Chain A
Amino acid sequence: MEFMQYFGGVFEPLSFALLVFGTVGGLILGATPGLSPTMAVALLIPFTFQLQPTQGLILLGAAYTATVAGGAVSAILLKIPGAPANIATALDGHEMAKKGQGTKALHVSFLASGVGGVIGVLLLIFLTPILAKWALAFGPPHLFWMAILGVTIIGSLDSKSFVKGLLSGCLGFWLSMIGYDDIQGAQRFIFTDALTGGVNVITALIGIFAIPQVIEMFAKGRKQVVVSAIKVEKQSLADSLKLLFQNIKALSIGTVIGSIVGLIPGVGGQIAGLVAYDQSKKFSKHSEKYGTGHPEGVIAAESANNAMVGPSLVPLLTLSIPGSPTAAVLLGGLLIHGIFPGSDLFENHPQVAWTFINSMLIGQVLMVIFGIWIASYAARVAQVPSAIMAACVMVLAVFGAYSVQQSMGDVYIMAALGIAMFFLEKFGFSAAPLVLGLILGPIAESNFIQGSMIANAQDGPLPYFLFGPLNIFLIALVVLSIAYSFVMSRRQVAQNVALQS
């Protein structure tokens, strides 16, 4: 219970002010498309130069927590996921917003984020030594199988047709191959300078989610001059809390999956939301409602992506290995103050370590409070006429794509992918599987190649990739996941046949 004695540090006037500033700033940065949590934290590091180490970390911790949750705002209201973590949130959240239930969607999203986030940080506090061993257990073969497990959910994710889902995933895989390959030094599909570094996930995310929408909205705006205003439903906090507890199953699935996936270095938060969304859909009694504006989907996705925050810091704080890009940025923030994460941190600087962790705990609570407070105002975005909305989204999309690495090339990539996605959507392909392919491609590929290189120096690839308890466990999950999808699609066909006859 060592962490309790350092709670006081969080509530010192300056520290608390920084905590509030970090939370509010993080929510705003997170809600801006293109500004991922990693970038937001990197932007704040120079501010910490002037602060004490503890205070600097409070600012960074609060900002990290809040940006992850803030990404849900643009995902729900604009259908532009702020970061890969929020892709799954957009699927149901935006449908809810379109129906005028934006406030409800934001309420449950922030509440679920808060619950997931607090549990994630508690795991960090109590189970760090055990979790650290776990994080190291995942070597190249295991990460490869993790990625394949992710591939198995591509087909069933947000797609009416299993085959079209897989095809979108393949497209994503292909996009992920573009660029300079770090491991073998090959240059692949680089026709222009802008593609040397490959297709950035955030650039792609903005393009394929935002641009098709903008085109749709412009088309609608021309057709109907008088826009029928959507009525934004009021939603009381008590009702939202009730809704959250009615969906305790989705909440638990999201929190558990988020914590586990967040722990694995290199896979991290990018896929936690999507995996949780898919699993909660598979276990749900109302799986057919997913994708049509079902609160369960938002709850599962958001609890997962905030639950991952705490565990994702375990490898950093105990072993000094940053497990995610954001953790790498935080490492920089620590080093600048002369603090080396690792066992040394908890022994010699317990005050810094625990105040940082505590600030994330309090930060979660503040994030929920501020999130709920802005929700009812923010939800009115749905009433903006579509022509104006389209222009605003376009500006945000260009700004977001440019700010990823200050490059016009990214803006063109974003636009090209977006226009292509508009036509793909007309043929029934959807965006989420494509992005998942783009995220999983490099994980599967680099770990397979690295694993084979290591295996060739040892006993050969077969035992390296197939034997060992963790390999077998993951392969079993892959087989189960495929079998489940297969059985479900057979059952659906049978149902359709029964309905027709």
Chain B
Amino acid sequence: MNCKKIGAAIALSVLALTSSAVRAADYPDRPISVMVSYGAGGATDFQARIVTMMAGGDDFLTQPIVIINKPGAGGRVGWNWFASEADNDGYTMAAYNIPHFVAQSIEGGVKYSTDSFEPIANWGSDPAVVVVGKDSKYNTIGELMDFAKENPGKVTLSGAGLYVGHHIAALQIEKASGTKLAYIPTKGGGAAAMKAVIAGDVIAGVNNLSDAYRAQSAGNVKILAIADVQRNEQFLPDVPTLMESGYDVDDSSVNFRGLMVPKGTDPAIIDMLAAKVPAMFESARVKKQMDAGGSPLKIMKRDEVLQMWKDREVYLTELLAGLK
């Protein structure tokens, strides 16, 4: 009896010490955690919970995914932790937000850059849109920009904070239209920025497509334009892109969300995740719940995401250079 126990203990410790290749083969044999660098109930948290809910299925990761929130400082707290302290054994993943973390790393003062992380797959994209209150006298983006041109600095524009998609969109609009806007970052994220528009505290706002779509359905705002390369046929087929309206603004401010692991994770594990995670995002139940929440799905494989990260970094370095 005792011998058996000792034998089992030896076997276990041998197992624990075997090479990483064997560990990768067993992966995953316990639940995986996903760190979300925003608070519970926010858009990133809520989408992360939906897209990972099927993880335990036999076709996917066979182990459930647990969401851990580390909010603070616009995501910096969570990503700093992920870059410097998270284990790179494949059991700790994180949600990324582009352009947020790239813009923050360019701004400086954080411990991460695109080199600190390895993307797995992208699940969603939430373009920024320009909104005005329902009683606003502006009905098109052109009217608003004409007013801004005649009155430099007078158009107040709310957004969720600094160095986030909304801020990038505002900077791009200023650059493309040759106007000067008063960008007002709010402390309470996108919801507070939307409240400022609805209550008339500001003339216009930049906000997420999903939130703006809801606010428009509720009859509170008008959506003037969308900062993306093409219209959103699913939710807002009638809203023109900024490009169509004559302002050279591309999709650099679109908020891409996906999963990543820390640098140094076993390549075998990365490959396995990169193969299985997109399939998980594609499952019918995930699509149904994401649609119900008005959150656009945009599934991208690891290679596409790597390219997207690189493109963003080059573009944002250039855009933000003038700001510092």
Which residues on A are within 8 Å of B, measured CB to CB?
A: 38-39, 41-42, 45-46, 49, 136-140, 179-180, 182-185, 187, 193, 196-198, 200, 265-266, 315, 319-322, 325, 328-333, 335-338, 340-344, 405-407, 442, 446, 450, 453-454, 456-458
Contact = CB atoms under 8 A, between A and B. Distances in A.
Top 9 A-B pairs ranked by shortest CB distance? A197-B72, A342-B218, A338-B292, A329-B41, A42-B40, A180-B73, A197-B77, A457-B182, A335-B293
A182 B289 contact: no
Contacts, number: 162
Contact of B294 (A325, A340, A453): A340
A226 to B, nearest CB: 46
B218 A320 contact: yes
B292 A335 contact: yes
Given A39-B40, A196-B77, 18 more contacts: A45-B41, A45-B49, A49-B53, A49-B289, A136-B199, A183-B161, A197-B77, A315-B195, A328-B42, A335-B46, A336-B49, A336-B293, A342-B215, A342-B218, A446-B186, A450-B185, A450-B186, A454-B182
Given A38-B40, A45-B49, A320-B214, A193 B81 contact: yes
Interface in B59-115: 68-74, 76-77, 80-81, 84, 107, 109, 111
B192 interface: yes
Contacts of A322: 41, 191
A456 B182 CA distance: 9
A457 B154 contact: yes
A185 B109 CA distance: 11
Contacts of B80: 193, 196
Contacts of A331: 41
A330 B41 CA distance: 7
22 contacts: A42-B45, A137-B199, A179-B72, A182-B185, A183-B185, A193-B77, A193-B81, A193-B111, A265-B195, A319-B198, A319-B220, A321-B198, A325-B39, A325-B41, A331-B41, A340-B214, A340-B217, A342-B217, A342-B219, A406-B70, A446-B186, A454-B156
A197 B220 CA distance: 33
A38 B201 contact: no
A497 B39 CA distance: 54
Contacts of B220: 319-320, 342
B217 A332 contact: no
A336 B73 contact: no
B15 to A, nearest CB: 28
B182 A335 contact: no
A141 B122 CA distance: 41
Contacts of B45: 42, 332
A453 B84 CA distance: 36
